[in-house]
Amino acid sequence: MTDGLLINAAITAVMMLTLSGVAARIRDVSFIDAVWGAGMAVLAIASWLQLGNPGARAGLIAGMAAIWGFRLGLHLFTRWRAHGEDPRYARMLGKAKEQGRYGRAALTVVFGPQAVLLFLTCLPAQLGVLASGDPAPIGPLAWAGAALWLVGMMFETVGDAQLKAFRADPANKGKVLDTGLWRYTRHPNYFGDTCAWWGIWLAAADAGWTVAALSVIGPLFLTFTLTRWSGKPLLEKGLMKTRPGYAEYVARTSGFFPLPPRRP
């Protein structure tokens, strides 16, 4: 497995170096969000291709990671193309752009750190696949992981579609989406991402508890990121300032796990 991880680390480094060069030319790093998902799909497939005779479990884990990653990557890429530079990255690299050092900052501030985090978060898929050469049947933990992954994919896919439709209606400008899945959780897409990666980790754990212990950092970090760091807290801080009625929405709607709305 060590050789496989080293190959994947090299793939990650080349990918991020190349894309940071693209970002430097177009002076926009915002597409890194799309790379986050698609990059994990690439690492999962690269792991599968390194097996001379992949087992069924390897195919399941690689397939789950690839479907999750390419769906998310395409969704975020089309959003970037439609809306342009993300204000978060504009603020982060604004001074570097003014001072003519955008390319260096794109690599050291965005693409370099993201390469490390992407690689670590994707460890369940990488180790789970690399430890699943033939014969490696799909065991009970892997089936449980697939079921949890399916729940996560439903939440994030439906949640993203509902949000996209809501934003496309000019009558909803400045309003808060509180119907569909968004009635039960303020972040169905984040909840879905978390379920998907805990599901992939469970499937990887079917290969043994050594794999489970070495790769648990992936879903733990993803959960922390979405609920405590750059996901939910930053997003809600901005929405509190720009969306009238968002405070009331927060008061009645679960912040993460889907639950019935609270009564006033």
Model confidence pLDDT, tens digit, residues 23-34: 999 999 999 999
Q: What is the pLDDT, as a whole number, of residue 55?
A: 94
Q: What percent of the chain has pLDDT over 70?
A: 100
Confidence bin at 171 (pLDDT 50/70/90): very high
Q: What is the pLDDT, as a whole number, of residue 246?
A: 92
263 belongs to a structural domain: no
Range of the domain at 247: 2-252
Average pLDDT taken over every residue of the chain: 94
Q: What is the pLDDT, as a whole number, of residue 217?
A: 97
103 belongs to a structural domain: yes
Q: What percent of the chain has pLDDT over 90?
A: 84
262 belongs to a structural domain: no
109 belongs to a structural domain: yes
For the chain, how many structural domains are there in total? 1
Model confidence pLDDT, tens digit, residues 135-158: 999 999 999 999 999 999 999 999
Q: What is the pLDDT, as a whole number, of residue 8?
A: 98
Q: What is the pLDDT, as a whole number, of residue 188?
A: 97
The mean per-residue pLDDT over the stretch 150-172 comes to 95
| pLDDT higher than threshold 80 for residue 63 | yes
23 belongs to a structural domain: yes
Confidence bin at 237 (pLDDT 50/70/90): confident
Tell me the whole-structure pTM to 2 decimals.
0.94
Q: How far apart are CA 118 and CA 84, in angstroms?
A: 23
Q: What is the pLDDT, as a whole number, of residue 96?
A: 87
257 belongs to a structural domain: no
Q: What is the pLDDT, as a whole number, of residue 221?
A: 96
| pLDDT higher than threshold 90 for residue 1 | no
